[in-house]
Chains A and B, each alone.
Chain A
């Protein structure tokens, strides 16, 4: 069996809504295994819990129940973090630093040698087409430029695993193509990739496997090649819509059922949105 790189077991997160002191479950019982070299795409409607899943895996948030292991180490372990790359959603960095300084800063946090850092920053700026803007302060960057820099910083340590939260967001068509290219290079080198996206054609093209998340739960998890091959779904969008609407219908049915039995509105905590 291939090496397991990402493994979550019953990973769950509850937040206490400050206003009503009511618990809201934003992720329920996520069980997921991603093996070395695999590219996994997590898709799902806004607010489904995709970003939450990544934050839990990286240790930015702590699980209420269950756990996540990356490279065999618990979420947030420093030895694992040293080998990860992370692109946050809507990255916004330090306004008064230049792009190059920022990459150098991130490299330093990893403890990369100075010479290597400089070289790496130069390479990556080239890769994401920011060489010209490299010495400009980040407050002058456009949204897509920040996104490109975000991608570059996630690769500075030559990570074993990358977590990208919507890598294509805000990018122009050239940028999106660049990202697809970077992804395929990473794949060739055997990097494990976990990413969230709303751009289904891109997901379809680059992923080995996709998971559909809805209202805090992973509804389905399938090899991309099986999705269209089975003939049941026209494309990934069809697959996505099918599973999400089916899940919504299920939730509605079960909440109706419980409403009619004990007329307690609070039973479907997943319905609660803050």
Chain B
């Protein structure tokens, strides 16, 4: 029995390794959860429903099918991000697995980054799986419609999915952030509220004008400028669906905005975690 050897097996400073370890661990834990598959099944059912509706509509419009399919993917991806994300840190605290992590040479930011990457990977796999399913159906049905080639169809769906994923990266970061200090139920509410507010986009400004109350209008304005403009993102996706490529300017702006936001949320989450006591 070799129990110890006081060997210097461990390096005191390892920056990437713990992040990778925590990411893989989070990915495995999430992917092996059965709830996930119930959600995927739901997405598949919605898409199939879309086919039925699509075939009822005039001229077998493949766009309706794609629209419904992508909406289902975005929705299910969001559900996974919100529910897995809000549990992410909370579960580790509740089950005290966090004791194992923070008694190792691991920093708060490594923990948060690892958790975030792990969940984003999981969401990516789910979005890709659902996307592949949708692409298969579209190609199967769309082969004889219009002139759109196989490659074009795939390209369009991939572009759409990337934009959906961009949005999900934000939702996941938001959920991760809340989960460092709040219970899952509250975190879900906060995350959904902010996500939806982001979707209102410019309607927030309109709403402000409608109230005719300068204070409320101002508050709604601030909310609008503080959140990523998901309504804008959805518009871009809509244009894509009709074959118009989005303006690079808008796209660059949105991507930068989302990444800056994600970074800020993760830094805050790391700070909260670093200051925590585990009693």
Contacts and interface: CB of A to CB of B under 8 A. Distances in A.
Q: A and B: real partners?
A: yes
Nearest to A62: B277
A113 B103 CA distance: 19
Given A106-B104, A189-B4, A101 B28 contact: yes
A199 B109 CA distance: 39
Nearest to A104: B21
B3 A127 contact: yes
Interface string A86-125: 1010111111110001000110111111001000100100
Contacts of A196: none
Interface residues of A, number: 51
Contacts of A155: 3-4
A185 B21 contact: no
Contacts of A95: 29
B278 A61 contact: yes
B186 to A, nearest CB: 17
A158 B10 CA distance: 9
A191 B4 contact: yes
**Which interface class (under 10, 10 to 19, 20 to 34, 35 or more) fits B?**
35 or more
Contacts of A53: none
A108 B18 contact: yes
Interface in A183-204: 185-186, 189-191
A153 interface: yes
Interface string B265-279: 000000000000111
B106 A109 contact: yes
A140 to B, nearest CB: 13
A60 to B, nearest CB: 4
Interface in A110-154: 110-113, 116, 120, 123, 127, 137, 153
B6 A112 contact: no
Interface in B117-171: none
Given A97-B29, A160-B6, A189-B6, A153 B100 contact: yes
A185 B10 contact: no
A82 B97 contact: no
A158 B4 contact: yes
A255 interface: no
Interface in A69-84: 78-79, 81-84
27 contacts: A55-B279, A60-B99, A60-B277, A78-B105, A79-B105, A86-B99, A88-B100, A92-B96, A93-B100, A94-B25, A96-B33, A109-B21, A109-B104, A109-B105, A110-B9, A110-B14, A110-B104, A120-B9, A123-B2, A127-B1, A137-B32, A158-B7, A158-B9, A185-B3, A186-B4, A189-B3, A191-B3
CB-CB nearest 4 A-B residue pairs: A111-B14, A108-B21, A96-B32, A78-B105
Interface of A: 15, 52, 55, 58-62, 78-79, 81-84, 86, 88, 90-97, 101, 105-106, 108-113, 116, 120, 123, 127, 137, 153, 155, 157-160, 181-182, 185-186, 189-191
